[in-house]
Amino acid sequence: MNSIIGYIFAAFGLGILLAATKISAALSKVFEIKMPIIVIAGVGLILIGIIMLMNPSSKKGKVSQATEEVPIYEGEGKHRKIVGYRKD
């Protein structure tokens, strides 16, 4: 889920950078927002997207054990061998 949101942030930031001149012209008429602020906002969104993509919170490929496995031994003393495991 974080990767999808990361891609959305990065794409939105890239779109802002690509349309920065048009956005700047439109916003400068209404507000006093200059071009460098728009560029910084676009780069900031791209960086947020990249950080979300690199976030290690998504644990892909890791399987958590529901129960602990206990070894089953055969033999006695030093001559014991593990022959299997059971879930405890």
Q: How many of the other CB atoms lie within 10 Å of CB of 6?
A: 18
d(CA 55, CA 78): 47
Distance separating alpha carbons of residues 30 and 74, to the nearest angstrom:
82
Domain extents for the chain?
1-58
pLDDT in tens, 7-53: 888 898 888 888 887 877 787 777 777 778 888 888 999 999 888 88
Q: What is the pLDDT of residue 7?
A: 87
